[in-house]
Amino acid sequence: MKLKYSLYVFIGACSYGILSTFVKLAYEQGFIHREVISSQFLVGWFLLLLLFLFIRKQKVSRKHFFLLLGAGTTTSLTGIFYYLALETIPASLAIILLFQFTWIGVFIEAVTDRKWPSKTKLISIAIILVGTLLAAGPLLQVTSEVTLTGLIYGLIAAFSFAWFIFLSGKVALSVHPMTRSFLFITGAMILTLILFPPTFILSGAIQEGLWIYALPLGFFGLVLPTILFAVGVPKIGTGLGTILGAAELPTAVIMSVLVLKEYVSLLQWMGVLLILMAIIYSQHQNLITELYKKKKLET
Q: Where are the domains of the chain?
A: 2-298
* Closest to 121 in 3D by CA, of 140, 145, 142, 102: 102
Tell me what pLDDT residue 33 has.
79
Q: What angle do CA 75, 77, 78 make, to 5 degrees?
A: 70
Tell me what pLDDT residue 42 has.
92
**CA dist., res. 154 & res. 130, Å (int):** 18
* Closest to 251 in 3D by CA, of 76, 9, 7, 11: 11
> Please, are residues 242 and 105 in contact by the beta-carbon 8 Å criterion?
yes
Tell me what pLDDT residue 206 has.
84
> Please, are residues 255 and 21 in contact by the beta-carbon 8 Å criterion?
yes
- Torsional sign, CA 190, 73, 167, 280: positive
> Please, are residues 281 and 243 in contact by the beta-carbon 8 Å criterion?
no
The model scores a pTM over 0.75 = yes
Residues of the chain with pLDDT below 70 are 1, 57, 90-92, 137-146, 284-299
Give tens-digit pLDDT for 153-173.
Answer: 889 988 999 998 889 888 888
Tell me what pLDDT residue 160 has.
94
> Please, are residues 42 and 190 in contact by the beta-carbon 8 Å criterion?
no
Residue 86: Cβ-neighbour burial (10 angstroms; 0-12, 13-18, 19+): buried
- How large a percentage of the chain has pLDDT more than 90? 20
What residues contact residue 152 under an 8 Å CB cut-off, 6+ apart? none
* Closest to 172 in 3D by CA, of 62, 74, 78, 77: 62
> Please, are residues 37 and 196 in contact by the beta-carbon 8 Å criterion?
yes
Tell me what pLDDT residue 283 has.
74
